[in-house]
Amino acid sequence: MEPHESVEESNDDPFKTRCALLISVLALALAISGLGGSNAGKDAAMSNILAANAYNFYQAKNVRQTAYKIAADDLEAELKRGKLEPEHGAFLEKKLADYKKTIARYESEPETKEGKKELMATAKAHEAARDTAMKKDPWFDYAGALLQIGIVLASVAIITLRKSLFAAAGVLGIVGIAFTANGFLLVF
């Protein structure tokens, strides 16, 4: 018998063919799981950065708003003391009105979405996106581990011709694929 004939005969073994197909399916699922895990990690990091930026912007607005509140309180105190020339009193009244408008604008500015109220909502939305991505990430990790173990078991099944290893690889593959799907969908 020629060496190439024995190779052809071994390639005709349906068990080895099934094992090779299982390995291919598990490798594909592993690639998809790795991609999902990578994206979930990036999404979590980006959402965390965006939430931190929104909170920082909120704090900056809060500091500026507080400075305007202090200035407005000082103007109100000066106006209550009285004994002001009418021109100076009118100037202070106008300044006080401007400060109060700025204070209100810092509190809420729907048209630019840069008021404290809108910034807080934006930060909370980014936190929610981060939390969702962080819930997804472990599922991809578990899936990747199960799929890798399944690939190893299917490879060993080819060498040893043990159907129990093939079955174990199939079960791990099914669970790994289910975990991958859950990583994308968060069903459970």
Residues 165-187: tens digit of each pLDDT? 999 999 999 999 999 999 999 99
Asked if 96 contacts 72 with a C-beta cutoff of 8 angstroms, the reply is yes
Contacts of 45-49 with CB under 8 Å at 24 or more apart are: 47/126, 47/127, 47/129, 47/130, 47/133, 48/126, 48/130
Distance CA 27, CA 21 (A): 10
Q: What is the distance between the alpha carbons of residues 125 and 105, in angstroms, rounded to a whole number? A: 22
Q: Is residue 130 within 8 Å of 44, Cβ to Cβ? A: yes
Residue-wise pLDDT for 66-102, tens only, equals 999 999 999 999 999 988 899 999 999 999 999 999 9
Q: What is the value of pTM for the model shown?
A: 0.81
Q: Which of 42, 49, 25 is nearest to 136 (CA)?
A: 42
**pLDDT, tens digit, 9 for 90 and up, residues 9-41:** 545 789 999 999 999 999 999 999 999 999 999
pLDDT of residue 12: 74
Among 65, 63, 51, residue whose Cα is nearest residue 107: 65
